A and B are shown apart, each in its own frame.
Chain A
Amino acid sequence: DQQVKQNSPSLSVQEGRISILNCDYTNSMFDYFLWYKKYPAEGPTFLISISSIKDKNEDGRFTVFLNKSAKHLSLHIVPSQPGDSAVYFCAASSRKSSGDKLTFGTGTRLAVRP
């Protein structure tokens, strides 16, 4: 039962343009969402998060949007840079019921072309 889904396994974007990575979830108990970035042979690193009480959170070039009614979140990277090329994982948790347990999607591989 895949509760967090990233339906696009890969995305290719031109440098300087916007990258939009999507994530859908099925568990309505999820109330906290995170994006992680992973380079080859490294562990995932935290990028940005959003609580279910918000619909947008911004940090520099990275913005996460949350649409609770659609159970959908997206990560926008503007402008995209070659160094952003990595695998991006969406993750979710239900803070009230399961605390720190994160459920991850399968990732989207982003390639930013120079």
Chain B
Amino acid sequence: DTAVSQTPKYLVTQMGNDKSIKCEQNLGHDTMYWYKQDSKKFLKIMFSYNNKELIINETVPNRFSPKSPDKAHLNLHINSLELGDSAVYFCASSSHTGNTGELFFGEGSRLTVL
């Protein structure tokens, strides 16, 4: 049973479209994240939510809007897609209570913007 699952795994779309990536975790964690891995392999944090509350928002264009309906889900919606948005997006979760810093990652969603 997958701990952190993301859908879709692959997404190919045209510039200007709007798309969403969904993430769910069944670990009972209270903190969830979105990370972006670009073509240079940098893995950078975009957002972090703790108990549905936004706690980290890293200089991300406002075309990116995360939504956390409950603490087990963190979805990422992207408006007006641009070529530079092509990347692998990883969802992750952690237990704030444990505070070990260990993140559990999903398998990633590869977004290709044409």
Which A residues lie within 8 Å of B106 (CB)? Answer: 43
How many interface residues does B have (CB within 8 Å)?
26
Chain B residues 75-114 with CB under 8 Å of chain A are: 90, 92, 94, 96, 99-108
Which A residues lie within 8 Å of B4 (CB)? Answer: 43
Task: Let me know if B43 and A100 touch, CB within 8 A.
Answer: no
Task: Let me know if A100 and B105 touch, CB within 8 A.
Answer: no
In the complex, what's the smallest C-beta–C-beta distance from A27 to chain B, in angstroms? 14
Complex Cα distance, B57 from A101, in Å, reads 10
Q: Tell me whether A95 and B107 are in contact in the complex, defined as CB-CB below 8 angstroms, given that A100-B96, A101-B48, A106-B40 are known contacts.
A: no
Q: Tell me whether A101 and B45 are in contact in the complex, defined as CB-CB below 8 angstroms, given that A43-B90, A43-B92, A43-B108 are known contacts.
A: yes
How many interface residues does A have (CB within 8 Å)?
23
The interface stretch among A44-52, A57-65, A66-74, A77-85 is A44-52
In the complex, what's the smallest C-beta–C-beta distance from B39 to chain A, in angstroms? 11
Which B residues lie within 8 Å of A42 (CB)? Answer: 107-108
Which B residues lie within 8 Å of A32 (CB)? Answer: 101
In the complex, what's the smallest C-beta–C-beta distance from B54 to chain A, in angstroms? 13
Tell me if A19 counts as interface (CB < 8 A to partner B). Answer: no
| Chain A residue with Cβ nearest B95 | A100
Complex Cα distance, B56 from A109, in Å, reads 29
Q: Tell me whether A104 and B44 are in contact in the complex, defined as CB-CB below 8 angstroms, given that A43-B90, A43-B92 are known contacts.
A: yes
Task: Let me know if B103 and A46 touch, CB within 8 A.
Answer: yes
Which A residues lie within 8 Å of B92 (CB)? Answer: 43
Complex Cα distance, B104 from A45, in Å, reads 7
Task: Let me know if B90 and A44 touch, CB within 8 A.
Answer: yes
The 7 residue pairs across chains A and B that have the minimum distance between CB atoms: A43-B105, A104-B43, A46-B102, A106-B41, A44-B105, A43-B107, A43-B106
Q: Which of B's residues lie within 8 Å of A, judged by CB?
A: 4, 31, 33, 40-45, 48, 55-56, 90, 92, 94, 96, 99-108
8 additional A-B residue pairs with CB within 8 Å, beyond A42-B108, A106-B42: A32-B101, A41-B107, A42-B107, A43-B106, A46-B102, A100-B48, A100-B56, A107-B43
